[in-house]
Amino acid sequence: MSDRPQPPSEILTMIKVMVVDDSAYNRVTISKLLDSARDIRVVATAVNGEDAIRQVMKHRPDVITLDLEMPVMDGFAFLRWLMVTLPTPVIAVSSRSSDRSVFKALELGAVDFVAKPGGRISAQLEQIGTDLIASVRQCRQIRIENVSARLARQEEAPPAIEESGRAVVGIELVVIGCSTGGPPAIQFLLETLPLLPIPLVIAQHMPAIFTRLFAERVNKLTPYTVKEAQDGETLQPGFAYVAPGGCQTEVVRSGDRLRVATYDALLEDLYAPSVDHLFSTASDACGPALIAVVMTGMGDDGAGAIRKVRENGGRTLAEAESSAVIF
């Protein structure tokens, strides 16, 4: 019968979401997008940070979508309060005019971000529906206690670092793959990792434009020279290259040197940049002289190629479950 109740399993897996945005149009549109998914229900909306505090205490949502630029109390102030008082997965929904703000939000505890097309109030907002629903669903796997632990570590003085070559004898390259939770993890890694006399190449699932901004941000905060990878450039020791969003990045050998090649992703590519593609080409180029690292993230990108790295004699590492935002 059409009116029979939902099975208990469906009720138990329903994701309760709160939408925070000072634009009434955005609140309504985002709520409609999320409510269109069978397993997502918008339980509350809020017009600013102060209103969000009241609503989150009343409704205790599983996930919060958060505008960052709001009057009275902005998204950053609300995030600081939330992560201390009632840690909850937050997805920053930010306009492209405030691209750099998303990294501040991630540093304060947001676990993911989705960029609004157009301006802060955009008639194109429905375009983000697929990405936003996917991001909310993956919050089921978020280990919010690990986000809180990472925020606590940020309050501590970073350990002194120094240049060190002893731990990388026989290694030409380190490749790193990340997805959800990756930007703060990469920043922390490069802040605390001794300055290695070899290059690093990083594939972080992130849209175009944001990878360059992310590289510029981390470059100011770590001893590494961090930049977005450019097609054809030779990899230099002490540099960390971020694979550009919307493109595929590979490592190729040119005589006794390594260089990167980048090209536009195909329509059928699920990830761009792809960790699998980066790891696979790096393994072809470096063989046993490669270290491949998989850090926090969603999905299986990197799982296949890291086996290839191992089979070719390279060294493989994975972030511990005790620290990964998504293991």
Question: Is 205 marked active-site?
Answer: yes
**Which are the contacts of 240, defined by CB distance < 8 A and separation ≥ 6?**
190, 199, 200, 201, 202, 218, 222, 224, 225, 226, 227
Angle at 305 between CA 299 and CA 310, to 5 degrees: 125
Helix (H) or strand (E) holding 31: helix 24-35
Neighbours of 11 (CB within 10 A): 9
Q: Give me the catalytic one of 67, 112, 276, 301.
A: 301
Q: Give me the catalytic one of 94, 112, 205, 280.
A: 205
Peptide bond into 8 cis (omega under 30): no
Q: Give me the catalytic one of 23, 31, 179, 280.
A: 179
Helical packing angle, 144-154 and 75-85, nearest 10°: 110
Question: Is 179 marked active-site?
Answer: yes
Judge contact between 218 and 228, C-beta under 8 A. Answer: no
Which residues is 227 bridged to in the sheet? 241
- The set of catalytic residues is 179, 205, 301
